[in-house]
């Protein structure tokens, strides 16, 4: 029986790259995002190029009710999801006291609430069947919460902790729950302000296709969490060997804008 993967946030960036990498492995797909026209373009190209079957569903997962609707729509079609990739997410850079509250609450709903909804609903089905894989997209900031990314960092720390604990609960059931932690990636996620920080100057963004290649291999064969790239792995381990007082200063410096020479 052919495998079927559900990928959220699949119209651009890492999600689109994940779709292409999974299609290259002859995995049928359900692609979900808000942008229907981009999803249709991806469907046509993926089916033509790889000879797989692609369903597209337009949903705005910043509303957790949409995540429940998505599950119902998929099950009502009789589709059996073997692999779930919770990739949809947004970020925000700026001082917490200045950033829009509604934007941050919407971010929490997308990055956390809808991810929890989809993980729970599909994990229940997978556990009953005794097989399935779920991969959640976390971040380097899951390990290294940065100033000026306060809410985003917190959501990704949640994703990492949530994945680890649910994975432990489901161990031995045939359901494997994993996560990936990319660092900077060259996508539309990255704003001009983010690009102007010391972090992006010292840790250059990588191509989404590179992240996707590592991620799909981890989805199919890996366990636990995977930090993508040696630099990011090294950075993620800095808090283990660096005093907190020094680590806070390092993170604030990295998250700050590059000072222009006069």
Measured between alpha carbons, how far is residue 115 from residues 47, 61, 67, 104, 199 in Å? 27, 9, 8, 16, 27
User: Which parts of the chain fold into alpha helices (H)?
Assistant: 13-24, 36-50, 64-76, 101-108, 114-129, 150-169, 192-195, 198-202, 208-221, 230-236, 238-241, 244-255
The closest of 64, 11, 68, 63 to 34, measured between CA atoms, is 11
Distance (Å, whole) CA 22 – CA 3: 10
pLDDT category at 68 given cuts 50, 70, 90 is: very high
Choice between 201 and 24, residue whose per-residue pLDDT is larger: 24
Contact call for residues 113 and 157 (beta carbons, < 8 A): no
Encoded tokens for 185:
């990636």
Active site residue 152: yes
Q: Which residues contact 240 (CB under 8 A, 6 or more apart)?
A: none
Q: Can you say how many angstroms the Cα of residue 237 is from the centroid of all Cα atoms in its chain?
A: 20
Cβ density class 32-63: b for 16+ within 10 Å, e for less: bbeeeebbeebbeebeeebebebbbbbbbbbe
pLDDT at 183: 92
3-state secondary structure of 242: coil
| Whole-number average pLDDT of the chain | 94
Contact call for residues 210 and 13 (beta carbons, < 8 A): no
Is 82 a residue whose pLDDT tops 90? yes
Distance (Å, whole) CA 118 – CA 134: 10
pLDDT at 261: 53
Q: Give me the mean pLDDT over the 172-189 stretch.
A: 94
Q: Order across the sheet with 4-8: list the strands.
A: 54-58, 28-33, 4-8, 83-86, 132-137, 175-181, 225-227
3-state secondary structure of 130: coil
3-state secondary structure of 144: coil
Contact call for residues 86 and 113 (beta carbons, < 8 A): no
pLDDT category at 205 given cuts 50, 70, 90 is: confident
Contact call for residues 218 and 175 (beta carbons, < 8 A): no
Is 9 a residue whose pLDDT tops 80? yes
pLDDT category at 79 given cuts 50, 70, 90 is: very high
Which entry of 20, 93, 148, 152 is annotated as an active-site residue?
152
pLDDT category at 209 given cuts 50, 70, 90 is: very high
Is 237 a residue whose pLDDT tops 70? yes
- CATH number (3.30.465.10, 3.40.50.720, 3.40.50.2000, 3.90.1150.10) of 4-190+206-238 reads 3.40.50.720
Tens-digit pLDDT profile for residues 28-43: 999 999 999 999 999 9
pTM equals: 0.93
What's the Rg (C-alpha) of the chain?
A: 18
Q: What are phi and psi of 19, to 5 degrees?
A: -60, -45
pLDDT category at 262 given cuts 50, 70, 90 is: very low
């Amino acid at each position: 029986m052919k495998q079927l993967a559900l990928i959220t946030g699949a119209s651009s960036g890492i999600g689109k790259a994940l779709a292409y990498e999974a299609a290259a492995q002859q995995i049928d797909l359900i692609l979900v995002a808000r942008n229907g026209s981009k999803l249709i373009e991806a469907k046509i190209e993926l089916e033509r190029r790889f000879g797989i079957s692609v369903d597209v569903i337009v949903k705005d997962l910043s509303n957790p009710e949409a995540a429940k609707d998505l599950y119902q729509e998929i099950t009502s079609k009789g589709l059996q999801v073997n692999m779930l990739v919770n990739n949809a997410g947004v970020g925000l850079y700026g001082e917490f006291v200045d950033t829009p509250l509604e934007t941050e609450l919407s971010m929490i709903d997308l990055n956390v609430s809808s991810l929890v909804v989809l993980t729970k609903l599909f994990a229940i089905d997978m556990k009953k069947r005794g097989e399935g894989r779920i991969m959640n997209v976390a971040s380097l900031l899951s390990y290294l919460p940065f100033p000026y990314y306060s809410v985003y960092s917190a959501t990704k720390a949640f994703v990492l902790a949530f994945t680890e604990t649910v994975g432990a609960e489901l161990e031995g059931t045939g359901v494997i729950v994993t996560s990936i932690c990319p660092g900077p990636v060259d996508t539309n996620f990255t704003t001009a302000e983010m690009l102007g920080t010391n972090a992006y100057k010292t840790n250059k963004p990588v191509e989404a296709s590179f992240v996707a290649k590592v991620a799909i291999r981890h989805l199919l064969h890996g366990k636990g969490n995977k930090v993508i790239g040696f630099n990011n792995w090294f950075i993620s381990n800095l808090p283990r060997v660096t005093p907190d007082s020094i680590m806070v200063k390092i993170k604030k410096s990295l998250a700050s804008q590059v000072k222009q020479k006069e």
